[in-house]
Structure 1
C-alpha cells in the first residue's frame, strides 16, 4: 500500500494469417471482430493505471484504416461497459483484426483525454500513419525534447515523453519507401535511455511489440493457434484463454507483417535490470513475470520477515495475544506466510472498501482522509491485541501514518508493530514510478547510510506512530524473487541505476536535496549539469 502511482499497462491482439479455428480457445469469431477482446484484456491491467484507457485498431475494410478510441477513467468507465448499447456502438465503430491498448497513470502531463493513449499520427501514406502505446519513462526526456525544439523547428503540444517518442517515430518512418521496422526501432534504441515498452500499429496492418534493452518493465506474449496476444502482465493473457505465455526478452521485439509473426533483436544484448518493485508491489499477485511468480515471491518475503522477527525477539509471539494483519491487498501474501512461519494468526483486521478509489490518486491531506474511507479496522479481531502490521513498502508515509492512527482509534489495537516487506526506499525512480525527488521520500530523512540501524528504525517508528518498525534487508530481495541481484533494478534502495542518464539524474536529485532547494518539478525534466544534452538527429 505504498502511496505510489502504478505503472501504465500496454496490450496487443492480432488475428494472424491462416484458416479459422472453430474450437479456438481464445477467439473463433470473425477476424475483424478481434478488437472486441481488448477491453477484457485491459481490465486485467487495471492495477497498472486507472486515469484513462484506450485502444487503436486496424481494419483494411474501412476508411479509417487505423481508428483510436480513448477516454479518461477506468476501463469500465472509458469503454462504457456498464451501458451495453454504448459499449456495443464503440466496439462496432472500432472493430478490427488487430488492436493495441493502454491503461494510463501519469508521471507527467495532466489527467485529461489529450494525454490518454494510444497516440495516433495520421498521414496519407499508410506506413506513416500509425498509433502506439507506451509504458515507462525516458530518463533523457529533456535532452530529446530540447533537440526537437532547438534543431528542427518542432512544436510540442504536450509535456510528456510519449509525444517526444511519437515525433522520433514519425521521423524514422518518413522515407518514401516502406521502412524496415526492426531497423527503425534499432535506431531509436540508440537515442532512448530509460524504460520503454511499446506497442505499435500502422495503417498497413503492421504491429510491433517491444521491450526495452534493460527489461525494466515486464512484457509477456503468447500465440494460440492464429491468435497473438501481448500484455504487460501474464494474468491478462491467461484470463483470456492464452496458454504457453512467455516473457519477451529485453531488447527483443515481435513484428507482425503481412499477417505473419517474427521475433527480432533490435538492441544489443545487455545485462537485464528488472524492476524488483513489480514483484513486491505493482504486479497482479496472479501474474508470472520473467518466469517468477509474483505470489510465491511475496510469500517468500513473508518468510524472510518471520526469520527476522525471531532473530530480533523484540515482540512476544503469543498466539493468544499477537496477530498479524496485512495491509490490503499487496501485503496479504507476505503477511500470511509470515504468520504461518511464526505460528500466530493472520487475520483480516483491515477490510478494504473496494468502491473507493486508490489513495495515491489524491495528494496530501486528501490522501490521509481517504484512508478512513478506504479501510475499516475490524475491532473484533484487533481490540486489545498486539498487532504486527505487514506493509509492502513505505515511500512517502502519509498513508501509513493515517492508517496507524485509524488502527489504534477504531481498531482498538493495544500495540502496532510495522513490518515492511521491502528495504527502505532511499532514492528516486526515473523509470516510471511517480517518485522523482529525494525530498518526498520518508526514509532518507532518518538514515545516514543504506542500512538502517535499530536507532534509526526506532526514530522512524516514532514519527509514524508505531511501537516498532523493521524493514527487510536489501539482500533478501534477490533471494525472494529468485533472480540474481545483478539482474534486478534496485536503484531506489541502493542508489545504483542501470542506465547512464538515470545515474546522472540521481546525482542531480542529491545536489538539489543537499542544498535545501525546492525541486523545480520532476528531476527528469531538469538538465543534469554533468554533461551536454545528448546529440540526436531527428
Structure 2
C-alpha cells in the first residue's frame, strides 16, 4: 500500500555513569555511545524516509549539543555507504548521549529546516536543548493562534514541531522552571493528539516521553550502563537487547535522565488508552512487538480472519498473492488456512526512488514499482491480499496490471482491515473525507454485499471483501476500547480530534470539486462547530 504514510520515528541512547559496562555499547569508550543512533534509526526507517537527523551531547566540546540532519534516508544522511565519511561524522558528533529522528511529513515542507531534531540555542545551558517528535498535535492551529497573539512571537515554519519547541522554551524560560517531569505535566494540559518526544539539553539531561493516550508506540531497554529507546522494539532487539529487557513505555509516562540518574514516572494520568491499530496492521516492522502484542502474530491472525469469511470457490487454479510487502504475513496465513498456494505474483522494485516516480501518472507509478509475473498469474483466480484501501488509486492501477500484464483470469481483492471512512488527525497523512474511497459508497451506512459489489466494480476487481471491525481487536489481542480505531468507526479519543472530524464532515458536504485543504489547516477556535 503506497498511498499511506506515517509521520516519523524517534530514538535515543545514553551512557549511564557508575554502572557496569554494557557489552552492547562501544567497548571502553562512553563517548562513542552516540554512534549507536544511526543503527537505531536505520531499523525504524519504515516510519519515515523524507529526512533523518541526530543531536548529540558532549561536555568536552564547545558545541555542548550539536545537530546533524538533512533530507534523505538514514543511509544518505549518515553516509552509511561511505565508511570514511561516516567515521568522520561519528567522530565529530561523538558523545555519551544522543537522540535521533526519521521523518515523513504530514505537514510542513520537504526541506532541511523541517528535518528533526529541532535545536534551540541559548547561552544558558538549561535552556539550550534539542528534541524530536513523533505524532501530530490535533490542536495545532489553536496553539498557533495562541502563540501569535503575542506581538513579539514568530513562527518560522508551518509545523506543529515548532509549536512544541515554543511551548518547551516557554516552560524552560520561566523564573523558576519546573523539573522535567513537572514540565511534561504542564504541557500535557495544553496538548491534544499524539506526541512522543525525545529531548536532550546542554546539561546532558534527557527525557523520553509518551503521550497520555498512547497513540504511537515507544519502547525502551537497559543493559548495564546502556539505555536506549526507539519507536519500535525491533531497533532495540537488533542492537542486541534481550526480549525481556525491552519494554513498552506506558502512556502518560516519561523516562528522565538527570545528573546521570534515571527515573521512570507517570507525568499525566491516562483517562483513556488508544493505541493506533494501524501500527500493527501496516506501519510497524513485522518483527516488532508493541505494547506486548506481536506485529507478526497480529497480521497472521488477520489472514486467518480473511480465510474464515472466504466464499470464492477454491480449486487448483486458485492462488493467494500479497501486495508487497506488509500484506505478506496476512496472505501467507490466509493461504495456509485455505490450503492454497501463496505465491509472489507481484514483485516490488525496492530501488525505485520516491523522486523518480513523483511526476508520473498513477499507472506509470504502479508499473515502475510493481512487476506482475504472468508465469505465476496467467489463467489463475487470484485472491489479492492488501492491508487496506485508502484512496483506491493504486489498487485500481494494480488490478489493471494484474489482468493486462499478468493475464490473471480473476482478481478478488481481500482487505485485512475494515473500510477507512474517516480521516486521521494523529500523524497519518489522510485528513479529508472526500479523498477516501469507502465513504462515497457507504453513505453513512454499513457494509453490505451490494456495497462491496459496487466497490469491486469501481476498482476493476471481480469481488472485494473487507474484514469486519470486530476482527481488529481479536487480531491485535487488545480490547477495542483501548485502541484508536477512529478511521474505521469515527470515535476519536481526544477532544480536538472530535472537533476536527466535525469540520471534516462539514467540508465534505460543502465540497465544490476544488482541491480540498487538509482538515487540520482549519483553525478550531474559528470553526462554527466549536462549542
Instruction: Report the TM-score, using the length of structure 1 for normalisation.
Output: 0.95
Contact 1:129 1:203 in 2 (8 A): yes
Partner of 1:335: 331
Partner of 2:180: 181
Partner of 1:536: none
| Post-superposition CA distance 1:400-448 (Å, at most 9, x none) | 1111111111111000000000000000000000000001101111112
- Kindly state the Cα deviation for residue 369 of structure 1 after the two structures are TM-superposed: 1.6
Cα distance change on mapping 1:308 and 1:26 into 2, 3 Å = farther
- Kindly state the Cα deviation for residue 384 of structure 1 after the two structures are TM-superposed: 0.5
Using the alignment, how far apart are the partners of 1:368 and 1:489 within structure 2? 33
Contact 2:432 2:516 in 1 (8 A): no
Contact 1:220 1:232 in 2 (8 A): yes
Using the alignment, how far apart are the partners of 2:354 and 2:399 within structure 1? 18
Partner of 1:98: 97
Contact 2:209 2:255 in 1 (8 A): yes
Partner of 1:414: 409
Using the alignment, how far apart are the partners of 1:436 and 1:101 within structure 2? 27
Partner of 1:15: 15
Using the alignment, how far apart are the partners of 2:37 and 2:358 within structure 1? 31
Contact 1:142 1:525 in 2 (8 A): yes
What secondary structure is seen at the aligned counterpart in 2 of 1:256? strand
Structure 1 segments unaligned to the other structure (5+ residues): 534-538
Which residue, out of 476, 496, 510, partners 1:515?
510
**1:193 aligns to 2:192 (yes or no):** yes
- Kindly state the Cα deviation for residue 462 of structure 1 after the two structures are TM-superposed: 0.7
**1:66 aligns to 2:74 (yes or no):** no
Which residue, out of 388, 391, 396, partners 1:396?
391
Using the alignment, how far apart are the partners of 2:515 and 2:252 within structure 1? 33
What secondary structure is seen at the aligned counterpart in 1 of 2:335? helix
| Post-superposition CA distance 1:104-135 (Å, at most 9, x none) | 00001111001000000000000100000001
Instruction: Report the TM-score, using the length of structure 2 for normalisation.
Output: 0.96
| Post-superposition CA distance 1:202-222 (Å, at most 9, x none) | 001000100000000000000
Contact 2:20 2:224 in 1 (8 A): no
**1:301 aligns to 2:302 (yes or no):** yes
Cα distance change on mapping 1:450 and 1:75 into 2, 3 Å = farther
Which residue, out of 434, 453, 460, partners 1:465?
460
- Kindly state the Cα deviation for residue 316 of structure 1 after the two structures are TM-superposed: 1.1
What secondary structure is seen at the aligned counterpart in 1 of 2:167? helix
| Post-superposition CA distance 1:445-485 (Å, at most 9, x none) | 11123531111111111110100000000111000001000
What secondary structure is seen at the aligned counterpart in 2 of 1:167? helix
Partner of 1:432: 427
- Kindly state the Cα deviation for residue 519 of structure 1 after the two structures are TM-superposed: 6.1
Using the alignment, how far apart are the partners of 2:188 and 2:230 within structure 1? 21
Using the alignment, how far apart are the partners of 1:452 and 1:202 within structure 2? 52
Cα distance change on mapping 1:369 and 1:386 into 2, 3 Å = same
- Kindly state the Cα deviation for residue 269 of structure 1 after the two structures are TM-superposed: 2.5
**1:261 aligns to 2:284 (yes or no):** no
Using the alignment, how far apart are the partners of 1:322 and 1:356 within structure 2? 30
Contact 1:198 1:211 in 2 (8 A): yes
Contact 1:2 1:394 in 2 (8 A): no
Contact 1:71 1:79 in 2 (8 A): no
Contact 1:9 1:103 in 2 (8 A): yes
- Kindly state the Cα deviation for residue 365 of structure 1 after the two structures are TM-superposed: 5.2
Partner of 1:167: 166
Structure 2 segments unaligned to the other structure (5+ residues): none
Using the alignment, how far apart are the partners of 1:514 and 1:280 within structure 2? 30
Cα distance change on mapping 1:326 and 1:520 into 2, 3 Å = closer
Using the alignment, how far apart are the partners of 1:428 and 1:339 within structure 2? 31
What secondary structure is seen at the aligned counterpart in 2 of 1:446? helix
Using the alignment, how far apart are the partners of 1:369 and 1:232 within structure 2? 34
Partner of 1:284: 285
The within-5 A match list for 1:139-538 is 139-177=138-176, 179-243=178-242, 244-309=245-310, 313=311, 315-318=312-315, 320-357=316-353, 366-449=361-444, 451-517=446-512, 518=514, 521-528=517-524, 529-530=527-528
Contact 2:499 2:530 in 1 (8 A): no
The within-5 A match list for 1:20-99 is 21=21, 24-99=23-98
What secondary structure is seen at the aligned counterpart in 1 of 2:222? strand
| Post-superposition CA distance 1:302-329 (Å, at most 9, x none) | 00000010xxx2x2111x1100000011
Using the alignment, how far apart are the partners of 2:440 and 2:96 within structure 1? 53
Using the alignment, how far apart are the partners of 2:7 and 2:249 within structure 1? 18
- Kindly state the Cα deviation for residue 530 of structure 1 after the two structures are TM-superposed: 4.3
Contact 2:171 2:177 in 1 (8 A): no
| Post-superposition CA distance 1:138-171 (Å, at most 9, x none) | 0000010001111353111000000000001000
| Post-superposition CA distance 1:194-238 (Å, at most 9, x none) | 000000000010001000000000000001111000000000010
What secondary structure is seen at the aligned counterpart in 2 of 1:151? coil
Contact 1:426 1:450 in 2 (8 A): no
Using the alignment, how far apart are the partners of 2:182 and 2:323 within structure 1? 47
- Kindly state the Cα deviation for residue 29 of structure 1 after the two structures are TM-superposed: 3.7
Cα distance change on mapping 1:519 and 1:374 into 2, 3 Å = closer
Cα distance change on mapping 1:184 and 1:224 into 2, 3 Å = same
Contact 1:322 1:386 in 2 (8 A): yes
More displaced stretch, 376-385 vs 365-374: 365-374
What secondary structure is seen at the aligned counterpart in 1 of 2:149? helix
More displaced stretch, 202-211 vs 168-177: 168-177
- Kindly state the Cα deviation for residue 274 of structure 1 after the two structures are TM-superposed: 0.3
